[in-house]
Chain A
Amino acid sequence: RKEVEQDPGPFNVPEGATVAFNCTYSNSASQSFFWYRQDCRKEPKLLMSVYSSGNEDGRFTAQLNRASQYISLLIRDSKLSDSATYLCVVSPNSNSGYALNFGKGTSLLVTP
């Protein structure tokens, strides 16, 4: 079983739509959770960290369910510029010496 699993999509949505991505992770001892965004042929960029209480940053809301080992990302009022691949990322430890485990990513295409 892969450590981080995501639906690869693609998700094709019209501008202004709300879209949700889900992710599951296998290591119950995981400590740190993130959503990264990766544009085509570019490096991943941090979108937001995910906290146990859930957190929101503008149009983006992230949720973490430790009991179910499940992370979600909700994007409201989609913009054309939101088109990208969204990577669910988990780390076993918040210590800087630990690498991140990446999901394969979920592709989003927002259309006019």
Chain B
Amino acid sequence: GAVVSQHPSWVICKSGTSVKIECRSLDFQATTMFWYRQFPKQSLMLMATSNEGSKATYEQGVEKDKFLINHASLTLSTLTVTSAHPEDSSFYICSARIARGGNQPQHFGDGTRLSIL
């Protein structure tokens, strides 16, 4: 079945570090990938929609200069949290939907747990 791979699973960094998270679709091409963030006991919140070959679309309140997204190929999107601070600590998850007709669900990566000290 379709698989989305996300790396790394855990990151613990000092404040001020930039962190890159990779999201790969392993057996399908994804022209669109999505980046979500989830704080404890909260719902998944969409941060941005990553479009292959073009600029990402950011949700209101998400700083595009803070969360850099690059979708350079049909199977890879990256999210870079620049100069991360403790308030950026969260669970970051990427997802993609197969570009096929019908009621296609999204497939999620395993998520990246980011802790900024």
The contact size tier of chain B is 20 to 34
Q: Which residues of B contact A61 (CB under 8 A)?
A: none
A49 and B105: CB pair below 8 A? yes
B43 contact from A45, A49, A96, A105, Cβ within 8 A: A105
Q: Tell me if B71 is interfacial: C-beta within 8 Å of chain A.
A: no
Count residues on chain A whose CB falls below 8 Å from chain B CBs: 22
Q: Tell me if B93 is interfacial: C-beta within 8 Å of chain A.
A: yes
B43 and A102: CB pair below 8 A? yes
Q: Tell me if A72 is interfacial: C-beta within 8 Å of chain B.
A: no
B103 contact from A45, A49, A87, A104, Cβ within 8 A: A49
Nearest chain A residue, comparing its CB with the CB of B32: A97
| 8 A Cβ contacts from A37-80 to B | 41-46, 49, 51
B43 and A94: CB pair below 8 A? no
Query: Given A102-B43, A102-B44, A105-B43, is A96 in contact with B32 using a C-beta cutoff of 8 Å?
Result: yes
A43 and B108: CB pair below 8 A? yes
Nearest chain B residue, comparing its CB with the CB of A49: B103
- Give chain A's interface residues, CB within 8 Å of chain B: 32, 34, 41-46, 49, 51, 87, 94, 96-105
A43 and B43: CB pair below 8 A? no
A-B contact pairs, 9 of them (CB 8 A): A42-B111, A43-B109, A49-B103, A49-B105, A96-B32, A96-B99, A96-B100, A99-B106, A102-B36
Distance between B44 CB and nearest chain A CB, rounded to angstroms = 4
**Of residues B93, B95, B97, which shows the largest number of chain A Cβ atoms within 10 Å of its Cβ?**
B97
* Cα separation A42 to B91 with both chains bound (whole Å): 9
* Cα separation A32 to B98 with both chains bound (whole Å): 14
Q: Which residues of B contact A49 (CB under 8 A)?
A: 103, 105
